[in-house]
Chain A
């Protein structure tokens, strides 16, 4: 059963690498983003293919089970991504404000 999951997950990671490469080619992903996502998915693949590696890493950090370490890391990553997403939304909001202001002034000057 675990082998089927490992094959499916490895195939999914390959698909993800493909889309990362595509996004990079299209100029939608910077070097930092590329490194982050490649390392993230490589880490996830390592953990799925060699689950005992995670247990050993958990031991190093003094955490009982490997799965606990995976949950902690996942939560940290999710919070970090949420934070980045929020910042991005704020930046887009500011751009919308600038455009809204320009349009308001232009419309007024046209009258």
Chain B
């Protein structure tokens, strides 16, 4: 079974489009609503998705791990991380999965930098992403072509060996770091992003660094 995990927070404008676009590309669509105060839950449910509801807003990393817990409970073979803001292209899913299987990888991480299809804002492309890459390298210990790309496909063996502990956006550094630390075979794959909004800004970058540093002092 191939499950799409879609974390969503106040995405009533786009969640139905995302679910409709995902249909046919995966076996099951699971929306993790992170305590939205708009109509995300009812719209997602009416559109045919399974909806898991966080009663308290805990962040995207926490929502993804809830999706993982669900995937483990139903014995999913693969999970796809797919944002609920309609910035990713579902047509990337099938070739990504095929490439992952061909390379016998257990994890696939999307990249906006392996081709030029993505419409990344200038400041983000030329300033924020290169700085982010340098900082990411410090925590991940391996050079990736992109940083904080939310498009990922993980085999169930990965779900069994890693748990996302970063509740907020630092999970996007934590996941590749754990994949690499556990010597899990992974590949990068070019995916297309179309930005409707700016996404993470400079301030959230500092929050991510703070979260990553503080987590070093939290006992498991």
A7 within 8 A of B: no
Question: Which one of B18-26, B55-63, B76-84, B154-162 contacts A?
Answer: B55-63
Residues of B within 8 Å of A100, CB to CB, are 54-56, 58, 62, 66
Interface of A is mostly: helix
How close is B52's CB to chain A, nearest CB, in angstroms? 4
The answer to whether B53 and A104 have CB atoms under 8 Å apart is yes
* Chain A: interface residue total (CB-CB under 8 A): 15
* Interface size, B (range): 20 to 34
The answer to whether B55 and A104 have CB atoms under 8 Å apart is yes
Select from chain B the residue with minimum beta-carbon distance to A87. Answer: B217
The answer to whether A86 and B214 have CB atoms under 8 Å apart is yes
Q: How many angstroms between the C-alpha atoms of A103 and B54 in the bound complex?
A: 8
Most buried by B among A87, A91, A97, A107: A97
Residues of B within 8 Å of A52, CB to CB, are none
Select from chain B the residue with minimum beta-carbon distance to A102. Answer: B69
Chain B residues with a Cβ under 8 A of chain A: 32, 50-56, 58, 62, 65-66, 69-70, 73, 165, 167, 214-215, 217-218
